[in-house]
Amino acid sequence: MKNLSDHLDDVQRQISYWFDNIDLLFQAFTRRSYSEENGGENNEVLEFIGDRVLDFYVTKILMDRYGYTKSQLDDFDADEDDDEFVVDTYTNEGSLTAIKKKLVKKKMLAHRIDKLGFKDFLRMGNGDIQQHKENEDSVKEDLFEAILGAIAIDSNWNTDELENVVDFMLNMDHFLTHGLTEEDDYVGLVQQWNQKENGEVPEYEFEEIYSGGFKAYLSLDTPRGTMRYYAEGNSKAEARANVAEFAYNDLDEHDELFTIMDELPEELTLENSINTLQELAQKGYVSMPEYYLPEDQVYDYNGNPRWMCTCTIRSHALEEIVYATSKKTAKKYAAYLCICNICGLKDQFQDE
């Protein structure tokens, strides 16, 4: 786990909100298990508040994007037409309800916490640490909502701040434009690149423009030198997504993006194979590995009793089955073979 105190500026920059009372931010990252061992308050009440904030502002942003009253239309006739509210994109309330549910569901909120890189800053008690609770979707969902709750209290329920933060943290424009899946977005991809290349979270600057929208600026230190990008959008979140996409495509065009090979350790071994595969999944190169280990020993192709492990990588339609003299070795080797298959590496242990 990382110390939140060392990353306060990065965290606040990524949510586009700076706290007056920084203790509220610490509370948002504090699990009950930590407060029971060390005293103080935990994030449960903030989570309760944030759940309501999230529900309201996701609804508002959807209505601002897709809804209008008929009087806003050029052909509206005040004498003939009723000034009713209309949602133009979707034909029934059920469709909007389904969209809203996908945006606020547990898996989506957990995905966004992963992309923001916040789970490692959680303050947890020893039991939670040993059980790696930070990897559970429900814990990440609670953290997402608790951060919103902390901002609500700190800003005295400032409507502009809350709407901006919900839009930023969820990156709604990306999902509404490209589909409601937990796929990588350009903001997340550029952040990953800059953290690896320059060791820091990229910083965006914003300028309100005459049309009512925003212009976003982004500077990146690349192998070509410092590159300055800008793009416009109807909101800060949209402008940020647009400039990030422009920057990412520029890096791609000049072959400056990292590949999966750049993420591998200097020497891939059985001992680091499981962690390496996990990290590749967390960075979006592959889907999360799925392991299956039978409780009892099985027999290999030669009839010898062995422990078996199957490692499945669904994103690559890949399955590796390994037989070994111990469960641990079988799991390590299965992960190792998956990496070799994906990266085109030679199996160094094939003859052993």
Sign of the torsion formed by the C-alpha atoms of 25, 243, 228 and 255: positive
Annotation marks residue 145 as catalytic? yes
For residues 188 and 115, the answer to whether their CB atoms sit within 8 Å is yes
Closest to 20 in 3D by CA, of 160, 212, 155, 206: 155
Between strands 298-299 and 290-292, the pairing is unpaired
Concatenating the DSSP letter of every residue in 161-219 gives HHHHHHHHHHTHHHHHHH-SS----HHHHHHHHHHHHHSS---EEEEE-TTS-EEEEEE
Q: Where are the beta strands (DSSP E) in the chain?
A: 67-69, 85-87, 204-208, 214-222, 225-233, 290-292, 298-299, 305-313, 318-324
Q: 114, 145, 185, 320: which is the annotated catalytic residue?
A: 145
For residues 72 and 143, the answer to whether their CB atoms sit within 8 Å is no
Q: 51, 154, 163, 238: which is the annotated catalytic residue?
A: 51
Three-state DSSP at 2 gives: coil
- Token look-up 């469709």 returns 95
The helix-helix angle for 106-116 and 159-170 (nearest 10°) equals 90
For residues 107 and 113, the answer to whether their CB atoms sit within 8 Å is no
Annotation marks residue 271 as catalytic? no
Residues with a catalytic annotation lie at: 51, 145
